[in-house]
Chains A and B, each alone.
Chain A
């Protein structure tokens, strides 16, 4: 294996090299990656003592019950914001320090696939828990298990409103004259499973929304307040037709069956295969690789360990060295892994805001974009250059540019970049040049 392969393994599949990581991966880049798939999940000390999602949701429901919207608002302003900061810092810390960066990349990939965003205030207190509880356990498990966990998690139920969706003909619906909210149903079809071009109809969306009525959180006064609860009194009775399949009076199990059907659907296989290939191979993924991954997804019933191993094995993934532009988050994490800069979480969160990708704050349920054209613009490159300079100057006292160069982009750096780093007028500017270089901006 060439040393370019080590860079691909560590930067495209991982989160960018920590000191020594290129060398460690270089001996057997594919093996280095595959061992992360089969190894048991490492300990995550940063996550100790963080509150569970249902627990925080329970706090919100109680605050709302006791003091209405004012109570909820007060909770968002203080306690939820604190939780958000702790969670975002813990996640960054884990990404920066991880020795299983492929796993962390997949957590980020899937959390983005199943986006929840703090643009809805309740998510402030839930986003981190969502990632830890619904995403992380399943990145090398089954897609259907992740989908079920996501659809039952209070963060998703509140972000996409299903907690409030009420069957118009249900007991509660008839009594209060309330009805469906099709937000979650639509996004599951469009974003999480089939994909927008799969040919489902608006009727499918409505029918699926009916199937999902009743999927909500236990109320403040109920045991397990804030946790998932199927509430029959708000579930739409009667038959529903989703993608030509009839669902009857199964209650909660109908929703479960519908989700499993969607997870198994060929369009989902293709949708997921395409997104994975776009993330790990290139913005316009080659059709042959997408086709192979699609087939594998279907053949394995959405086995994500098998999918991950298959992507690692795609020859297309190793054909080009740096086809992807790093997102701001990836850029910051890569820079901090490389430098082992131990800045305060607050500062790093500020950096992510400045660079345009604040934590847990994707602008829509479709998540952060995964193609260069969505990230790179005139202002973005200037900000990245400025941030590169800020970090370079900050660490000028503690890191040597030649060493940093050797530990990060040396195997793939062009002569122009190598000279620009070597000849920069100061150590700080040399490292700024390194961070801003195309080789570091890419993965």
Chain B
């Protein structure tokens, strides 16, 4: 069901053969519109990415993780700002090509990554209710073949289903990201063989990264064995954006692409202006901005949705990080987007407004955003989107204001 040429290439050293010549069956696509969905796996901290800095509770609840207002937050609309590492998105915002969404969530209300991502991707309310992805079902409505492209080592649930999709894997075995390695170092702590070896490996790597200028020092709190100063990994978006843009821009190329980015599960030492999360955000911002020149003239026909499975706790946890939450932030980006706005029915961070006393309460169903994109951007029939793509979402009205007329 998949064009896996590139996927199969990639498991060991020199044999990694990611390739740009993924083939697409159609000579002429049924639409010139492009939809790119960027999934941030691990739960992006929306309050760090899009700080609600005017909320009186923000600074109190965020404590040591609150961003400073001066030479910190990049203002959006007087209520919300952007994390300074997302500066490239600020440029797009001012150009009217980026919309920030806040207090958004799928119908999922527990805090398991797996189930949360399944709901984000299968498009229904239960993690196990459907085994195919809503974007694959949308491709079915769109008609045509292999208009879907999975960027990465496997096809994610959101693109899995009856309609064949292509896949493209970047050419190298990714270095394990620091978050993964820091979790491993906990597992290895009791292992007399593996533990010391990992610590040494991490130190050596940090040194190498430092020599290369990739170390972005934290805020003093980020010390000890959980911070390694490694560049954001795996597979920085900024490194693959060029290729992805090309694959989507070409006349007979993909029209729907999915990019997965990991490393957002910032339970410990997530950092403030700099650090672990800032590094991931910097890569995200630079990568998304790099898609614009990569897409060329197709940029005007492109909408990019940046989504995550849920948000993170409002309050800081005991390890200078945040735990799994509910309401999240999301972005719509692209030449086809009515940008320069923040879409948020803000519930407030006061104690009585938090979901279960701890999380940002969701006020916007992510399916409303996606339904709007499918109908207004890709031109899919509203009843098909209602029946097939998001089957139990009749009470979720499509967000119709997201795109240029």
Contacts and interface: CB of A to CB of B under 8 A. Distances in A.
Interface string B141-175: 00000000000111111001000000000000111
A437 B174 contact: no
Contacts of A438: 187-188, 190-191, 194
Contacts of A388: 176
B193 A385 contact: no
Interface string A260-279: 00000000000000000000
Interface stretch (B6-14, B62-70, B283-291, B345-353): B6-14
Contacts of B114: 401, 426-427, 430
A380 interface: yes
A424 B13 CA distance: 26
Nearest to B263: A425
B176 A385 contact: yes
A52 B205 CA distance: 46
Interface string A80-106: 000000000000000000000000000
Interface stretch (B30-38, B178-186, B268-276, B359-367): B178-186
B97 to A, nearest CB: 29
B131 to A, nearest CB: 11
B11 A420 contact: no
Contacts of B175: 382, 386
Interface string A369-399: 0001100111111100111111101111110
Contact of A420 (B12, B152, B183, B234): B183
Interface stretch (A56-64, A111-119, A141-149, A341-349): A341-349
Given A397-B160, A426-B114, A352 B198 contact: no
Contact of B174 (A350, A355, A389, A398): A389
A397 B186 contact: no
B194 A441 contact: yes
Interface string A418-433: 0010011111111011
B327 interface: no
A396 B154 contact: yes
B204 interface: yes
Nearest to A355: B12
Contacts of B194: 325, 376, 381, 438, 441
Interface residues of A, number: 54
B11 A325 contact: no
Nearest to B204: A378
Interface in B104-125: 113-114, 117
A177 interface: no
Contacts of B197: 376-378, 380-381
Contact of A426 (B16, B187, B262): B262
B201 A379 contact: yes
A249 interface: no
B335 to A, nearest CB: 30
A350 B12 contact: yes
B201 A381 contact: yes
A425 B43 contact: yes
A354 B12 contact: yes
Contacts of B8: 343-344, 347
A354 B202 CA distance: 18
A397 B204 CA distance: 33
B45 interface: no
B65 to A, nearest CB: 19
B180 A373 contact: no
Residue of B9, B11, B14, B193 most packed against chain A (CB within 10 A)? B11
A216 to B, nearest CB: 37
A246 interface: no
A353 B154 contact: no
Contacts of A382: 175-176, 181, 198, 201-202, 205
A183 interface: no
A417 interface: yes
Interface in B1-59: 7-16, 41-43
A233 to B, nearest CB: 46
A397 B158 CA distance: 10
A339 to B, nearest CB: 12
B202 to A, nearest CB: 8
Contacts of B180: 385, 389, 429, 432-433, 436
A286 to B, nearest CB: 18
A394 B8 CA distance: 9
Contacts of B173: 354, 386-387, 390
A436 B198 CA distance: 11
A31 B10 CA distance: 40
A394 B191 contact: no
A426 B12 contact: no
A164 B40 CA distance: 63
B264 interface: yes
A426 B42 contact: yes
User: Most B CB atoms within 10 A — which of A353, A373, A424?
Assistant: A424
A350 B160 contact: no
B152 A378 contact: no
Contacts of B113: 423-426
Interface string A308-338: 0000000000000000010000000000000
Contact of B153 (A350, A390, A401): A390
Interface of A: 325, 343-344, 346-355, 372-373, 376-382, 385-391, 393-398, 401, 414, 416-417, 420, 423-430, 432-433, 436-438, 441
Closest 5 CB pairs between A and B? A350-B12, A425-B42, A378-B201, A350-B15, A351-B12
26 contacts: A349-B12, A351-B12, A376-B197, A378-B200, A378-B202, A378-B204, A380-B197, A382-B181, A385-B176, A389-B176, A389-B177, A390-B173, A393-B152, A393-B153, A394-B11, A394-B154, A396-B156, A397-B155, A397-B156, A425-B265, A426-B42, A433-B180, A433-B183, A433-B184, A437-B187, A438-B187
Given A389-B176, A436-B184, 16 more contacts: A355-B12, A377-B197, A377-B200, A382-B176, A382-B202, A386-B173, A387-B12, A389-B234, A396-B153, A397-B154, A424-B183, A425-B42, A425-B262, A426-B41, A433-B184, A436-B180
